[in-house]
Structure 1
Amino acid sequence: MSHIKLKNLVKRFKDTEVLSGIDLDVPEGSTLVLFGPSGAGKTVLLRCIAGAVEQDDGEVRIGGEDVTDVLPEHRGIGMAFQNFALFPHMDAFDNIASPLTACGKTADQIRAGVDTVARLLKIDHVLTHTPKALSNGQKQRTALARALVSHPKVLLLDDPLRNVDAKLRFEMRLELPRLLADQGATVIYVTQDYREAMALGDRIAVLDGGRIIQNGTPEEIYRRPATINIAKLFGDPTINLLDVVPQSDASGVYATLSDCRIQLDPGLSGNVGRECMLGLRPEALSFTTANEGVPVTIEAETPFNEKAVTLVTTLRKREILVSRPAETPAPASGTAHITIDPRDAVLFDRQTGVRLDPNGTSHAAEKAA
């Protein structure tokens, strides 16, 4: 059993509380991505789980057992660090083998274990090289192999791809889910890259200021972010945020953009007259050839390999980004019209920044409290 459960975990350094009552539940065999900006407390949280840092309050449970007072070497945890942390005087083979050596495995068991994981990570040809002779990509894979070789029941991966080049980072995003699934371990993976978070996590826990602000599936985090700050962290180009004051009439609840009505969920009627921010993902907007929808003026277009992003302005000169697949027809200049699917509209309270849910204030306000 490798189910991870944290209950009211608190960590302070002198008078500064860096983790504030963390509650987290990671089911056995799943991958949870711990996402957040620099200084949010992600690495400290991993070290508390590993036992390398002692929390000031709360519990760490692994497989139903309270391991709060268990030494790190007895927690059954494998860990890969952001800075690789390889032993410089050992070759890649001995670095990978070090957990097996520490456990007293035989030479044959060590050789078999290292060879298997090295082939899996495609570094079997550099096992005799010391770290200084390895590329960053090979160092990263060596550190990951060391974490995997003993088949730990829990894997803690602290932004292990941060120091590798873009090509390898992309490849590893594709390979890691399969590798982690083959291990069958329960994984907590730290990253500041939203693409990695979306690609690797069964669930994503967003940590900021020492608190879990939102915990959900990648789709939930992206489509229904709990706060404006989370909405800004996910997506490229970033989400459009527009000041609106919802209104209602016999046809329902709506906001106004370029003197056109944007229909909102009828459950948001309790927010009529409230100062809000309307969130619209650029890819949720599309140009229409018909003389209908929201009138805009084309200001500029930026082509990317896989998409094109157009900057448009409304009648009142509010800027909006519209994203579409590359080579999709779209007006290049002048006036145009865009359509908005109401299902893709997200409403936030302008003062607090929390998402406003239909038929209530917001569960986001409770999570952010």
Structure 2
Amino acid sequence: MRMEFLELTSLSKSFSGETVLDEVSLSVQEGGTLVLFGKSGAGKTVLLRSIAGAIEPDDGTVVIDGEDVTSVPPEYRGIGMAFQNFALFPHMTAYDNIASSLTSKRMSASEIRTKVDAVAKLLKIEHVLSHAPKALSNGQKQRTALARALVSEPRVLLLDDPLRNVDAKLRFEMRLELPRLLADRGATIIYVTQDYKEAMALGDRIAVLDQGKIVQIGSPDDIYRRPANTQIAQLFGDPTINLLDVVPKEDDRGLHAFLSDQRVDFHGKFPGVAGRDCIVGLRPEALSFTETGGFPVTIEAVTPFNEKTVTLVTTLRGREILLSQPAQDPVPTGPKVNLQIAARDAILFDRETGNRIAPEPDGNRVEEAA
């Protein structure tokens, strides 16, 4: 069983009276990867720099492998860090940039060469080691910065949106390569990104940071299927989740609401929800066309996206809904068609707070009445 290797407790930081980190607490298991996800300005980079020791927190503690390192200088924390802007030394070759952390440890030239060559080969940049940063492409700069962070085999690796400044093709390739690469190094990792696809692909767990606070931590599946609130639900998914206002009612058949005048039953127990202003969240891929049953809609637009087709429909009351389906699945000629809901994928939120309403155990199914 893996132990918690990196632990933050009530970490807080303010600049000029403005709170940037607000009692952030989280932990990462030894060898695990936690993705820190949030919009620009959420406090992600400040949190990484606080862990690294580049910024001193106002309150709270940073513990690595059972040792409180909150007051320990950065060079003694055993941390590697790669930045989104590469931060390479312009007067050094790629080789010297990668070797800089080893040189400071006074390793022998042969040992440094062995380690640099190994990590460069791993990242496929061995052919540009003699080049200055200005002669490197953005992708090569990114890999050089990552190699510098990896070469000293740090106990903790902090990656600050390292793929943000590379082209789309390389970003896609690195999403596939990074999990294997990082697992091979055995480091405990915090990976910062604003890209939900990266977060879903790379993290054992995802921590969502908003205005300096952790608002949800969970597995990628938890974050996607059970988002803590409507804001998080909208950040994960493309096309974005459909959010429709409803006021559930309850009768002898159970809790239900209406879409296009058709009854939708919420199977399970949601105490105190009947008569309450709510929002039902429907992922576009949780909806499908049906010839029988379902609720009626009108097709407004059909947009093909290579591997999928996105269809915009409206309900009888003019509410817009997006539906996503595999490209090979036919779209009805319409315009009048019916939709059905995949029972397990509907999510209920409180309209006033935006928070998800969790059903009692075994009560998280929603399905359309026949």
Would you call these one fold, judging by a TM-score over 0.5?
yes
Q: Matches of 1:132 and 1:14 in 2, distance apart?
A: 36
Deviations 1:259-295 (A, max 9, x none): 11222142214211000111000000011123x1111
Q: Is the 8 A contact 1:207 1:213 kept in 2?
A: yes
% same residue? 69
Question: Which residue of structure 1 aligns with residue 176 of structure 2?
Answer: 174
- Per the alignment, in what secondary structure is the counterpart of residue 188 of structure 1? strand
Q: Is the 8 A contact 2:309 2:324 kept in 1?
A: yes
Change (3 A) 1:181 1:337: same
Q: Map of 1:64-213 to 2, 5 A cutoff?
A: 64-213=66-215
Q: Is the 8 A contact 1:2 1:29 kept in 2?
A: no
User: Does residue 1:218 correspond to 2:220, yes or no?
Assistant: yes
Q: Is the 8 A contact 1:293 1:338 kept in 2?
A: yes
Which of the numbers 239, 242, 245 marks the counterpart of 1:243? 245
Q: Map of 1:212-291 to 2, 5 A cutoff?
A: 212-290=214-292
Q: Is the 8 A contact 1:301 1:332 kept in 2?
A: no
- Per the alignment, in what secondary structure is the counterpart of residue 157 of structure 2? strand
Moved over 6 A (4+): none
Question: Which residue of structure 1 aligns with residue 354 of structure 2?
Answer: 353
Question: Which residue of structure 1 aligns with residue 366 of structure 2?
Answer: none
Question: Which residue of structure 2 aligns with residue 293 of structure 1?
Answer: 294
State the shift of 1:332 in Å: 3.2
Question: Which residue of structure 1 aligns with residue 309 of structure 2?
Answer: 308
Q: Is the 8 A contact 1:253 1:264 kept in 2?
A: yes
Q: Matches of 2:134 and 2:267 in 1, distance apart?
A: 58
Q: Is the 8 A contact 2:4 2:27 kept in 1?
A: no
Q: Matches of 1:45 and 1:60 in 2, distance apart?
A: 11
Which of the numbers 35, 53, 78 marks the counterpart of 1:33? 35
Deviations 1:203-253 (A, max 9, x none): 000000100000000000001100111011000000000000011111111
State the shift of 1:2 in Å: 7.7
Q: Is the 8 A contact 2:10 2:24 kept in 1?
A: yes
- Per the alignment, in what secondary structure is the counterpart of residue 264 of structure 1? strand
Q: Is the 8 A contact 1:2 1:186 kept in 2?
A: no
State the shift of 1:17 in Å: 1.1
Q: Map of 1:14-33 to 2, 5 A cutoff?
A: 14-33=16-35
- Per the alignment, in what secondary structure is the counterpart of residue 228 of structure 2? coil
Q: Matches of 1:82 and 1:137 in 2, distance apart?
A: 11
Q: Matches of 1:151 and 1:254 in 2, distance apart?
A: 55
Q: Matches of 2:197 and 2:204 in 1, distance apart?
A: 13
Question: Which residue of structure 2 aligns with residue 9 of structure 1?
Answer: 11
Listed as ranges, the gaps of 5+ residues in structure 1 are 361-369
Q: Matches of 1:265 and 1:193 in 2, distance apart?
A: 34
Tell me the TM-score normalised to structure 1 length: 0.96
Which has the larger displacement, 330-339 or 167-176?
330-339
Question: Which residue of structure 2 aligns with residue 319 of structure 1?
Answer: 320
| AA aligned opposite 2:325 | R
Q: Is the 8 A contact 1:204 1:215 kept in 2?
A: yes
Task: State the aligned residue count.
Answer: 359
State the shift of 1:255 in Å: 1.4
Q: Matches of 2:16 and 2:63 in 1, distance apart?
A: 25
Tell me the TM-score normalised to structure 2 length: 0.95
| AA aligned opposite 1:60 | V
